[in-house]
């Protein structure tokens, strides 16, 4: 298999493959999960990590589409994060994909439902309340 990824991208999957082999040999019930970046949308890098031997591929959406520019790093794009999860899921049969959303940052109920329909995978919801000033 020929990979056109730069060495820095290849270095992401190699430790995962090594990590996967050791603990599961002794305890096959242990699942290996990786919380991943968006790899700047590089589908080959996403597939490489998804196929590295891990059981759970996690990438956080963080918020609904309309709140993304206000909550996430400016380089992070909502649709790109959806694509990361789609590519990972399609890369390996049986791979669990999951994400997390913060709630309470100005989103509407309709936006939450739209996001839930878009991700259709394991999801963690985190409610963020406004900071409280200590007295």
Return per-residue pLDDT of the chain as tens, 135 residues. 344 555 555 565 555 555 555 555 677 778 888 899 998 899 998 998 999 888 899 999 999 999 999 999 999 999 999 999 999 999 999 999 998 888 889 999 999 888 888 876 665 666 666 555 655
Q: What are phi and psi of 118, to 5 degrees?
A: -70, -35
pTM: 0.76
Chain centre distance of CA 25: 26
Please tell me the predicted confidence (pLDDT) of residue 1. 37
Domain boundaries, the chain: 7-127
Q: Exposed, middle or buried by CB within 10 Å (0-12, 13-18, 19+), for 59?
A: buried
Give rounded-to-5 percent helix, strand, coil for the chain.
45, 15, 40
Q: Is it true that domain 7-127 has CATH number 3.40.50.2300?
A: no
Q: How many residues does the chain have?
A: 135
């Amino acid at each position: 298999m020929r990979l056109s990824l730069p060495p820095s991208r290849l270095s992401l999957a190699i430790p995962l493959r090594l990590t996967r082999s050791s603990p599961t040999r002794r305890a096959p019930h242990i699942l290996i999960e990786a919380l991943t970046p968006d790899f700047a949308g590089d589908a080959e890098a996403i597939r490489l990590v998804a196929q590295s031997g891990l059981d759970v591929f996690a990438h956080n959406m963080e918020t609904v589409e309309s709140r993304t520019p206000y909550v996430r790093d400016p380089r992070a794009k909502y649709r790109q994060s959806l694509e990361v999860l789609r590519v990972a899921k399609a890369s390996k049969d049986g791979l669990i994909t999951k994400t997390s959303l913060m709630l309470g940052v100005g989103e509407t109920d309709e936006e939450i439902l739209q996001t839930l329909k878009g991700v259709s995978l394991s999801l963690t919801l985190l409610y963020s309340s406004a900071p409280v000033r200590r007295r």
